[in-house]
Amino acid sequence: MKSLKKQRRIQIIALTFVALAISTAMIGYAMRDGINFFRTPSQVAESPPPPTEMFRIGGLVEEGSLVRGEGETVTFRVTDGGASVPVAYTGILPDLFGEKQGMVGQGRYVDGTFQAVEILAKHDESYMPAEVIDALKEQGVYVEPGATDAAPATN
């Protein structure tokens, strides 16, 4: 009798383990397209990702690079101070999007150009995504909003 209880308990534990493994695999499979990694232009230039990989890129829109094509097509370069990557986007840009402004784009790197499917711009003077700030600080390009080069006044 005791051996039957012990055998039944082992079967239940084994079945629970199999169910847990299957559910973990199903969750991982479902989330595979929902994970987007962030890269800086320098990282993309060093080791370009495959054209099938969806990722986010962020930095500053390079001055003099913004070209509005016919319709809704826009091309520009995004930089982190160390490297710049050409970006192509078809769609309506956010109102605050402009040269020398922070941006984050989501898309794929195809044939040397980042093909964006979504572009986000900073929403006020003090906001910039943390990943972009860190990348710009690393390159020595980022200056805190409101910071001036002048020495503080003394009385």
The enclosing domain of 130 has a CATH number of: 2.40.50.140
Query: How large is the average pLDDT for residues 44-68?
Result: 89
Residues 115 and 66 in one domain: yes
Instruction: Give the amino acid at 20.
Output: L
Does residue 2 fall inside a structural domain?
yes
Residue 148: inside a domain, yes or no? no
How remote is the C-alpha of 28 from its chain's centroid?
20
Confidence of residue 87 (pLDDT cuts 50, 70, 90): very high
Could you count the other beta carbons within 10 Å of the beta carbon of residue 48?
16
Please say if the pLDDT value at position 142 is more than 70: no
pLDDT band at 143 (very low <50, low <70, confident <90, very high): low
State both tokens at 37. 């990694």
pLDDT at 153 over 60: no
Q: Give me the domain span that covers residue 31.
A: 1-35
Nearest Cα residue to 42 out of 24, 57, 26, 30: 57
Examine the domain organization and report whether 125 and 56 are in the same domain. yes
Domain count, the chain: 2
Is 150 within the bounds of a domain? Answer: no
Q: What is the pLDDT of residue 150?
A: 43
Per-residue DSSP letter, 140: T
134 vs 57, higher pLDDT: 57
Query: CA distances (Å), 155 to each of 79, 147, 148, 152, in order?
Result: 41, 20, 19, 10
Q: Are residues 55 and 105 in the same domain?
A: yes
| Measured distance CA(10)–CA(14) in Å, rounded | 6
33 vs 109, which has greater pLDDT?
Answer: 109
Which residues sit opposite 55 in a β-bridge? 37, 107
In a domain, 151, yes or no: no
Centre a 10 Å sphere on the Cβ of residue 84 and count the other Cβ atoms it contains: 20
Note whether 14 and 51 are same-domain residues: no
Give the helix ranges, DSSP H, for the chain. 2-31, 41-46, 130-139
Q: What is the pTM of this model?
A: 0.61
Share of the chain above pLDDT 70, in %: 79
Residues in the chain, how many?
155
